[in-house]
Amino acid sequence: MTGDTKFDLWYLFALAGAVLIGAVLPVLPTGAAVSAGAVLASHSNPIGLVGVLIAGAAGAYAGDLIVYAGCRFGGERLAKRIGWLRDNASLDALRERLAEHEISVLLTSRLIPGGRVPVLLAAGLAGYKWERFALVDLFASSMWAAVYMAIGLLGYALFDEPWQGVVAAIVLVILTTVVSSLIQRARRKRSNTK
């Protein structure tokens, strides 16, 4: 990769598609893709940052709607078959938290690594209102894309070459995910020992 990395409209379509696929089948590092897009846009076409934000948010939003619809209309059987549903006890606890603090839970679930799918399952399986979910998730997806774009901008600010910024952004995303997972695991252990 050289400093002449091309950033154009096709990249935005690919980004939206990758984020959508990663939102439905959470195996792709979608946050890293948005961060990398922010680095590339900053180096070659800063106005493209708006496109990265829109493409990332649109892909995340469409993917969340697909997962929610699958849970809502396909039920637990579909969720188990696809591998979205593993632990019913935590799903029941999420349903309770969702009922108590619905908007804050939906908003923060998108930002917490590994938190989105269980919350979408709880919302879909509990029959959470479609219109309300669509509205709250639109904001959550946009906020998520903005956070990962900011991580990419940090990578851009630290390094001169686009490839260095992309690598830095990906490493920052991975570190954020690992640290967040460790904190969540420690909290769960503390709550289980009480």
How do residues 48-102 score in pLDDT, each as one tens digit? 889 999 999 999 999 999 988 888 877 666 666 666 555 554 566 666 766 677 7
Any idea what the Cα angle at residue 185 is, between residues 180 and 188, rounded to 5°? 125
Look up residue 160 and give its two tokens. 């001169």
Is residue 3, in this structure, part of any structural domain at all? no
Show contacts of 106-110: CB within 8 Å, 24+ apart.
106/133, 106/136, 106/137, 106/140, 107/136, 107/139, 107/140, 107/143, 109/140, 110/60, 110/64, 110/137, 110/140, 110/141, 110/143, 110/144
Range of the domain at 54: 9-193
For 161, how many CA atoms within 13 A lie in the half-sphere containing its CB?
A: 6
Is residue 91, in this structure, part of any structural domain at all? yes
Is residue 150, in this structure, part of any structural domain at all? yes
Number of compact structural domains in the chain: 1
Q: How confident is the model at residue 21 (pLDDT cuts 50, 70, 90)?
A: very high
Is residue 27, in this structure, part of any structural domain at all? yes
Is residue 14, in this structure, part of any structural domain at all? yes
Is residue 4, in this structure, part of any structural domain at all? no
Is residue 2, in this structure, part of any structural domain at all? no
d(CA 86, CA 93): 14
pLDDT on residue 65: 93
Predicted TM-score (pTM) of this structure: 0.75
Q: For tokens 């029959």, name the residue.
A: 127
Is residue 31, in this structure, part of any structural domain at all? yes
